[in-house]
Structure 1
Amino acid sequence: MEIIKIHQHQGSDSTASLLQITDDKKSMDHHDRDRTVQYSSFFRRFWDPSPNSIISPRFIALCFLVFIYYIGYGYLQELMFTLDGFENTAWFLTCYQFLVYAFLSFIHLGIAGLDQRRTSYASYILLALLTVMTMGLSNYAVAYLNYPTQVMFKCCKLIPVLIGGILIQKKSFNRYDVAAAFSMSTGLIFFTLADSKVQPNFNLYGVIIICSALVADAAIGNYQEKIMREHHVSNVEIVFYSFMFGFGFVLFGLLVTNNFFANFEFWNQHPVQTYGYGLIFSIFGYLGIDIVLTLIKEYGALICVTVTTCRKSITIVLSFTLFSKPFVFDYVWSGLIVIFGIYLNVYSRHQTAFNTKIVSIANILFNSRWWPRILAPVTSRTLSI
């Protein structure tokens, strides 16, 4: 009887152990299935052709257009300034560019059916003056600055935007914005110092010009935001009136300073390098603005900043490659400091979205079936002897 009881007891223990192993195996299989589903759903989300996927055909097309338009824009801008004497016609280029922008935005207004002006002419006149300062001084600075240095300065618009937001809109900024501005300033200082060491024709006047352009650009951003918030004005309406009035201001300035006809004669002597390149340069710039606004609207500021930062990096690399320039490693690490500041700025404005994406990516990586089993949750199991 005792032997039978012992065997019965051992049999029940063995059955219980087998049942526990089976349950554990089912639990692990279920966990593997969950990870596989999560893994496959990530890749469906990643490659799905729908507009909401991370890399949809539309997103790829928009990124491709951003790279084509702005890399072409930067290349043509630097290429035009390689023509001897072209640096003296920088404001004539701005006048020509404003004319093309005004014409394209007028067509855009007609297509969109926006024929009703929503704010006063006085607002647009002030906006046009700021736009003239921004784009005119940016074009003018190319004659005095290394092009990559100019691009790095334009990446750091946050610094005057932060100051302008405090002065114009009485905004308050958090510690991430301040840290971003400090990071950008530090990176810019070292990038400019590196430029001054290797560029024999480095001109501090160019730094003053591009800084003035950034100040005007900061005022534009804050003033545009104020107009759009108060009067619900569309982007294309702002672009049209800003560049229409801006064209008039630049043309008037060229006539008053007696530079218009001299510049006009110079351009007529080199029609392909001036009118031809300038037209493509202006079209690329206008279309690039529209694509960037579309990216922000459909995919958010974080994705847009990532795309445009990559584009600017490629523009700088191409500038060093296609146009012979001395290079030092200081350009790299100072540029990385500026990029860090850019992402600090994005994080300060989109902390929730940023944190959600980080957690999502971490979950995807650490729950992937390709990771070692040690990352899987451990379940205790009882084995029979």
Structure 2
Amino acid sequence: MEKNTKLFVCAIGIFVCYFYYGLLQEKITRGNYGEGENREKFTCILALVFFQCVVNYIFAKIVLATVMKQGDDNTRTLYYSSSALTYLLAMVCSNMALQWVNYPTQVVGKSGKPIPVMILGVLLGKKNYPLRKYLFVLLIVIGVVVFMFKDGKSGEGSSVLGFGEFLLVLSLMMDGLTGAIQERMRSEYKTKSGHMMLSMNLWSTIYLGVAIIITGEGLMFVNFVQRHPSLVWQLITFSIAGALGQFFIFLTVSDFGPLPCSIITTTRKFFTVLGSVILFGNSLLPRQWFATVIVFTGLFLDSIYGKAVIKMK
């Protein structure tokens, strides 16, 4: 009973934290600030991710010192710095995509993450996956393509990808590279989740700190917050929700394994799409609803039956 209660608490924590995180992410990146002629949109995406990474780093530091004491970490710095770069690019691209696509499109597009992870696992990690996993991922591919396909309007050609969708594809490619590097870290150094969260957010903070100074976005961010101080509370709660969500995911994986965690996160994404449609009025075509069901069916089946991986000799 105690174990079931803990799993229920973890599931509720993941649902609540990431549901709130997703709603705030859309509100910050797609909302309007100010009134009348002074209305403007938030465009400081690098600064937004920088703020999030700083909070994640502080949170990981506290958790490692109190709750998840995981001993020394001997993982090579090169692995952390390179995985942090690809992780960072994936996060920036997905956040930036929200300036061109709505949140349901971002969630469904990012649900295609198993695709690049599996491809790079085969090419770089020399892995052999069971046939059923290829079928489940194919189901995800079909769903994502059907969802993102743009119906051509009169006088215009139809195209599958706009700039927002292109950013999502780029984000998925970076996710695949991040997964490949992290797999090397786990196999060679048995890197723990807490150390990975801490070091990757540290390197991401360093990269972004340099970027916002060079581009001048740091000053733009400060000026924007001064004009719209209500953004401060949104940024703080957005980052805390993301950090707590990561903590509940790590806790679920360490105590109950990756399978329950995958089922919980897959279900959470679907309800986040529903929440975005209801609360922000993001209407979906019947074709997109059908595609959404296909994507999450593939993800759900993969989380239950597609986990087995056989290393090639």
Q: What TM-score bracket applies, with the shorter chain setting the length?
A: 0.7 to 0.9
Partner of 1:326: 283
Partner of 2:60: 105
2:32 is aligned, of 77, 83, 88, to 83
- String of CA shifts for 1:199-258, please: whole Å, max 9, x gaps: xxx971111111111111121122112112211221111111111111111121122223
Partner of 2:164: 206
Partner of 2:233: 276
- 1:39-58 equivalences under 5 Å are 49-51=1-3, 56-58=4-6
Q: Distance in 2 between matches of 1:315 and 1:280?
A: 17
Q: Flag the structure with more relative contact order, 1 or 2, with Cα contacts below 8 A and sequence separation at least 6.
A: 2
1:133 is aligned, of 85, 89, 107, to 89
Contact kept in structure 2, 1:137 and 1:213, CA below 8 Å: yes
Partner of 2:106: 150
Contact kept in structure 2, 1:144 and 1:203, CA below 8 Å: no
Partner of 1:232: 190
- 1:355-370 equivalences under 5 Å are none
Letter in 1 for 2:44: T
Contact kept in structure 1, 2:136 and 2:302, CA below 8 Å: yes
Partner of 2:243: 286
Partner of 2:149: 193
TM-score normalised per structure 2? 0.87
Q: Distance in 2 between matches of 1:50 and 1:121?
A: 39
- 1:19-58 equivalences under 5 Å are 49-51=1-3, 56-58=4-6
Partner of 1:122: 78
Letter in 2 for 1:240: L
Contact kept in structure 2, 1:147 and 1:319, CA below 8 Å: yes
Q: Distance in 1 between matches of 2:227 and 2:74?
A: 43
Partner of 2:175: 217
Contact kept in structure 1, 2:266 and 2:300, CA below 8 Å: no
Mean Cα deviation higher: 97-106 or 302-311: 302-311
Q: Which secondary structure state, in structure 2, belongs to the residue aligned with residue 123 of structure 1?
A: helix
Q: Distance in 2 between matches of 1:86 and 1:247?
A: 24
Contact kept in structure 2, 1:92 and 1:254, CA below 8 Å: yes
Identity %: 25
Q: Distance in 2 between matches of 1:79 and 1:218?
A: 28
Letter in 2 for 1:311: R
- Listed as ranges, the gaps of 5+ residues in structure 1 are 1-48, 352-385
Contact kept in structure 1, 2:28 and 2:234, CA below 8 Å: yes
Q: Please state how far the C-alpha of 1:172 moved relative to its aligned partner.
A: 1.7
Contact kept in structure 2, 1:176 and 1:344, CA below 8 Å: no
- String of CA shifts for 1:307-345, please: whole Å, max 9, x gaps: 222211111111011112233222221111112221342
Q: Which secondary structure state, in structure 1, belongs to the residue aligned with residue 100 of structure 2?
A: coil
Q: Distance in 1 between matches of 2:130 and 2:176?
A: 18
Q: Distance in 2 between matches of 1:58 and 1:340?
A: 26
Q: Which secondary structure state, in structure 2, belongs to the residue aligned with residue 325 of structure 1?
A: coil
Contact kept in structure 1, 2:270 and 2:296, CA below 8 Å: no
- Cα RMSD after superposing both structures: 2.2
Q: Which secondary structure state, in structure 1, belongs to the residue aligned with residue 32 of structure 2?
A: coil
> Are residue 310 (structure 1) and residue 267 (structure 2) matched?
yes
Contact kept in structure 2, 1:194 and 1:330, CA below 8 Å: no
Q: Distance in 2 between matches of 1:309 and 1:241?
A: 26
Letter in 2 for 1:164: L
Q: Distance in 1 between matches of 2:62 and 2:2?
A: 30
Q: Please state how far the C-alpha of 1:174 moved relative to its aligned partner.
A: 2.4
- 1:247-258 equivalences under 5 Å are 247-258=205-216
Partner of 2:116: 160
Q: Please state how far the C-alpha of 1:121 moved relative to its aligned partner.
A: 1.8
Q: Please state how far the C-alpha of 1:350 moved relative to its aligned partner.
A: 5.1
Partner of 1:338: 295
Partner of 1:242: 200
Partner of 1:95: 50
Q: Which secondary structure state, in structure 2, belongs to the residue aligned with residue 349 of structure 1?
A: coil
Give the aligned length. Answer: 294
Q: Which secondary structure state, in structure 1, belongs to the residue aligned with residue 284 of structure 2?
A: coil
Q: Which secondary structure state, in structure 2, belongs to the residue aligned with residue 118 of structure 1?
A: coil
Q: Which secondary structure state, in structure 1, belongs to the residue aligned with residue 73 of structure 2?
A: coil
Bigger Rg over Cα: 1
> Are residue 69 (structure 1) and residue 30 (structure 2) matched?
no
Mean Cα deviation higher: 325-334 or 64-73: 325-334
Distance 1:239 1:50, change over 3 A: closer
TM-score normalised per structure 1? 0.71
Q: Distance in 1 between matches of 2:188 and 2:208?
A: 28
Q: Which secondary structure state, in structure 2, belongs to the residue aligned with residue 145 of structure 1?
A: coil
Q: Which secondary structure state, in structure 2, belongs to the residue aligned with residue 233 of structure 1?
A: coil
Partner of 1:14: none
